[in-house]
Structure formats: C-alpha cells, structure tokens
C-alpha cells in the first residue's frame, strides 16, 4: 500500500450521506439505511486527532519549540497534485515524520504525520505504537471502514482523509494521519 499526503480537499466537500442514520421514505414507507460517510469521519479525525501536541495544522515553529530541529529535512518540492511546497521532517529518536507544507518560513505547518517505533506519543484515544488490535478496534470502532479494513492495515475514515494503522502480529507498528490518496 502506498500512502501519500496529496490532498487539498477540506471537510466542506462532504457528501450528503449521514453518519449511520436511518431514513424513512414517507411516501412508500420504506426504510433506507444510509452508509456512514467515512470521508467526513476521516476529515473530522484529521481535524481533531493528535499525537500529544502534534496535530495537522500545527505551525512548524511550534514543532521546533516542542521537539527541536529535525534530524533530517528534505528540500521543499512543489507537488503538481496540490500546488503546495512539501518537505519531510524526520525526528528519528522520537519516531515520527512530518510532511510540512508552505513556501515561507512563517507559513510552514504540518500536513501529515506518521509515527513509528520508538515513538511514545499516543492518539487522544490512547492508541500508539505497540497498541493491540483489540484496543484499536474498540477505540475507533465508529470510524473504521470495514469494507476496506483487513489484513495488516486498518483505516479509520477513508484513504482520502483519516488515519491508517499498520499492524504486525496484531500490534500497531505505524500510524499515519492525513490524506493517503487523492
């Protein structure tokens, strides 16, 4: 599976589906079950979820105040998909990578986050590297799309926005928050 951070869609592009709702057609009195809007759930996760103080939209200057300068930094590169300048900041000892967007130093902010061993940070629902599959499913049961979840990858929200959990031996080894596809 390839995961990237190429998405400029915002939560205002939600579909007309509702979250786990049941609608009744008053003319025919038929009951229609509407699927969850995993895209909207994913955007909510991207907006509200964090790893400690790390969250999408956090200014790069704040990241430096919290964790110091990154161990590695790629050169800014303009992506054709969204027109933004992206660079990856790697914090090896802390166990995370940040996709940072922006052209000017003052505008740089987190676009996507990936955590991996030895990261000790956890989500607001207390899921982190080393968490068990059962804990993950219990914490994010309302957001996991069972139509695409399976194997060693669990997606909360959608590939277009949300969280992707990678597992080995039923334990979380990697968590990505952001847009994995366009």
DSSP 57-126: T-BHHHHHHHH-S-SEEPPPEE-TTT--EEEEEEETTTTEEEEEE-SSGGG-EEEEEEEETT---B-TTS
Question: Looking at residue 30, what is its pLDDT?
Answer: 42
Q: Residue 116: inside a domain, yes or no?
A: yes
Number of folded domains in the chain? 1
Q: What is the mean pLDDT of residues 63-82?
A: 94
pLDDT for 28 equals 41
173, 166 Cβ separation under 8 angstroms: yes
Domain, as residue range, for 174: 36-178
What is the pLDDT confidence band of residue 149, given thresholds at 50, 70 and 90?
Answer: low
pTM: 0.79
Mean pLDDT of 43-66: 96
Tell whether 29 is covered by a domain: no
Task: Look at residue 33 and tell me whether its pLDDT is greater than 80.
Answer: no
Radius of gyration of the chain (CA): 18
Nearest C-alpha neighbor of 45 from the set 154, 168, 118, 171: 154
Asked, for residue 16, whether it belongs to a domain, the answer is no
* Pairwise CA distance, residues 44 & 25, whole Å: 29
| 49 domain residue, yes or no | yes
**Residue 133 CB neighbours (<10 A):** 15
Tokens of 98: 């940040």
Whether 14 maps to a domain, the answer reads: no
Residue 154 lies in a domain: yes
For residue 26, the model assigns a pLDDT of: 37
Q: How confident is the model over 73-94, as a mean pLDDT?
A: 94
Do the domain assignments include residue 166? yes
Tell me whether residue 117 is in a domain: yes
Q: Is the pLDDT of residue 133 over 70?
A: yes
Number of neighbouring beta carbons within 10 Å of residue 175? 27
């Amino acid at each position: 599976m390839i995961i990237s951070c190429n998405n400029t869609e915002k939560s205002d592009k939600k579909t007309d589906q509702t979250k786990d709702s049941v609608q009744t057609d008053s003319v025919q009195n038929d009951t229609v079950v509407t699927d969850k809007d995993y895209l909207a759930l994913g955007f909510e996760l991207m907006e509200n979820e964090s790893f400690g103080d790390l969250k999408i939209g956090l200014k790069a200057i704040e990241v430096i105040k919290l964790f110091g300068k990154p161990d590695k930094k790629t050169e800014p590169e303009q992506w054709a998909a969204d027109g933004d300048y992206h660079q990856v900041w790697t914090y090896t000892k802390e166990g995370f990578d940040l996709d940072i967007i922006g052209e000017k130093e003052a505008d740089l902010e987190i676009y996507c986050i990936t955590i991996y061993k030895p990261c000790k940070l956890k989500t607001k629902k207390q899921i982190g590297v080393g968490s068990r599959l059962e804990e993950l499913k219990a914490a994010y049961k309302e957001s996991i799309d069972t139509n695409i979840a399976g194997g060693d990858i669990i997606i909360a929200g959608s590939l277009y926005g949300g969280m992707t959990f990678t597992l080995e031996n039923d334990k979380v080894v990697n968590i990505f928050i952001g847009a994995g596809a366009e």
